[in-house]
Chain A
Amino acid sequence: METKELYLLLNVVKENKNLNLLIREGMSYKLIGEITEFAAKEKLLEILQGQITLTELGESKLISWAKLFKRTNKKEWIEPALKSKVAKIDKNDIFLPSQDELSF
């Protein structure tokens, strides 16, 4: 397990975010379960009657790791929609896309 994965998971718990974010980062549900268990053992998370919350220790770890992992470079988290990209055309040309090819 990497610290970054732990950071992302704590962040999801704190912000009550969707787990799809972690899946998009390449984590499996199995790994998410393992990291949650690890974080609870390390007292970064508290599991009470099935509800999971961040502990004070978890909060402080999250703040200290944020500097390491917070992605400020937008190229890392905003991807161009390449499938909608069209070939460059002359400024006097008029582009009429096929109705079937429209994806927006």
Chain B
Amino acid sequence: MENKYVTIQDVNRLRKIFKEKNWINFPNEDSVFNNFCHLLNNLADEQKQLIHELTEKYLWISSNDYANRFNTILNNIDDNYLLTCRKIYLFPVIKPEDEPNIKSGKHCIYIFKGLFALNPKFSDINIEIIEDFESLKSIVFKNDGSELIFLIDDFIGSGETFTATLDEAKKNQTLSEKFILVLSLVIQLDALNVIKNKYGLFTLYSELGKKGITDEYESPEKEQKIKVMEQIEKYIKPNFFSFGYERCEALVTMIRTPDNTFPFFWMKSKINGIEFLPPFPRN
């Protein structure tokens, strides 16, 4: 039987990734690093190899980075959108049933509100947060280019939450998709295609995420890597989070790790009866 343990080469390779990505300056990176290694210490060589490769593609955005990235998104909004604009409404990407809960979209709205106030590009524009779906449905939108609606989140994964948001919002019949912009720190390619092709909405983002295995490897390597991940997931038993919610295969952690990310990175593993913490726990 193959010996499963982390080698000094593994530790060094992981450290190199942490340094190249500047993660060594992130809060609590030592616990992330140590949890990574404790898990690698129980994986076979080809499993470790896959985790190294996925970690090389992994995106970790710390909360300190939100404002800069969001401000860059604001600066990238085409001036043509703003020529006649006098008012921008901000609304989070959120499922109606999640509205009472603290969700990432709401958090992002307040960061944006502060950024608008400081960004000279928007100095002549009135910014208004729409608090809930009830308020959204009661607004009579002008649809003459003087008002825009920004739908905001830090991560759009499968597009399911976005679709639920838009479907509910469209109950306001004065809402026109022509004046809606979607702003997200990270968006998965599949979700971007849904938003673009199904709804024809203009989307601005800081990072575009691909499926970590399916979009990154060619056959037959792809099928082989999928098998390796399935072996790793036997230690996790992620049920419907297998390969990430809706099989998004995301490789991203922000303030929280989206459940669309491969569960290896955020769910506990149980190997030979011992429980191991993931590198990026969600709780």
Give the B-binding residues of A (Cβ under 8 A).
9, 12-13, 18-20, 28-30, 32-34, 36-37, 47, 50-52
Instruction: List 27 A-B pairs, Cβ < 8 Å.
Output: A9-B8, A12-B8, A19-B6, A19-B7, A19-B11, A20-B41, A28-B34, A29-B33, A29-B34, A29-B37, A30-B34, A32-B8, A32-B11, A33-B12, A33-B14, A33-B15, A36-B8, A36-B11, A36-B12, A37-B12, A37-B15, A47-B12, A50-B12, A50-B13, A51-B9, A52-B8, A52-B9
Give the distance to chain B from A22, nearest Cβ to Cβ, in Å: 9
Q: How far is the CA of A40 from the CA of B14 in the complex (A)?
A: 16
A30-B33, A50-B9 are known contacts; what are 18 more A-B pairs with Cβ within 8 Å? A9-B8, A19-B5, A19-B6, A19-B7, A19-B8, A19-B41, A20-B5, A28-B30, A29-B6, A29-B33, A29-B38, A32-B8, A33-B14, A36-B8, A36-B12, A47-B12, A52-B8, A52-B9
| Contact between chains at A36 and B15 (CB < 8 Å) | yes
Complex CA distance for A32 and B33, rounded to whole angstroms: 11
Shortest C-beta distance, B14 to chain A (Å), equals 7
The answer to whether B5 and A18 touch across the interface, beta carbons within 8 angstroms, is yes
* Interchain nearest-CB distance for B20 vs A (Å): 13
Question: Known interface pairs A19-B6, A19-B7, A19-B41. Does A30 touch B12 (Cβ–Cβ under 8 Å)?
Answer: no
Closest A-chain residue to B8, C-beta based? A52
- Complex-state Cα separation, A28 to B11, whole angstroms: 11
Chain B residues with CB under 8 Å of A34's CB are 15
B positions within 8 Å CB-CB of A:
5-9, 11-15, 30, 33-34, 36-38, 41
Given contact pairs A19-B41, A20-B41, A33 touches B33 in the complex (Cβ within 8 A): yes
User: Contact: A30 with B30, CB < 8 Å?
Assistant: yes
Alpha-carbon separation in the docked complex, A33 to B12 (Å): 6
Q: How far is the CB of B28 from chain A (nearest CB, A)?
A: 11
Bound Cα distance from A7 to B243, whole angstroms: 42
Q: Which residues of A contact B37 (CB under 8 A)?
A: 29
A18 surroundings in chain B (CB, below 8 A): 5
- Chain A: minimal CB distance from B273 (Å): 15
Instruction: Tell me the minimal C-beta distance from B13 to chain A in angstroms.
Output: 6
- 3 closest Cβ contacts across the A-B interface? A29-B37, A33-B15, A30-B30
In angstroms, Cα B9 to Cα A18, docked, is 11
Q: Which A residues are CB-close (under 8 A) to B38?
A: 29
- B36 closest partner in A (C-beta): A29
Residues of A within 8 A of B8 (CB): 9, 12-13, 19, 32, 36, 52
Q: Give every chain A residue within 8 A of B11 (Cβ-Cβ).
A: 19, 29, 32-33, 36
CB distance from B168 to the nearest CB of A (A): 46
Could you tell me the distance between the alpha carbons of A99 and B41 in the complex, rounded to whole angstroms? Answer: 33
A15 to chain B, nearest CB (A): 11
For residue A25, give the distance in angstroms from its CB to the closest CB of chain B: 14
Measured between alpha carbons, how far is A9 from B36 in the docked complex, in Å? 20
What is the minimal beta-carbon distance from B42 to any residue of chain A, in angstroms? 11
| Residues from chain A with Cβ under 8 Å of B30 in the complex | 28, 30
Bound together, the chains give a CA A90 to CA B36 distance in angstroms of 51
Q: Which of chain B's residues have a CB closer than 8 A to the CB of A13?
A: 8
Answer whether A52 and B12 are a contact pair too, CB < 8 Å, given A20-B41, A29-B34, A30-B34. yes
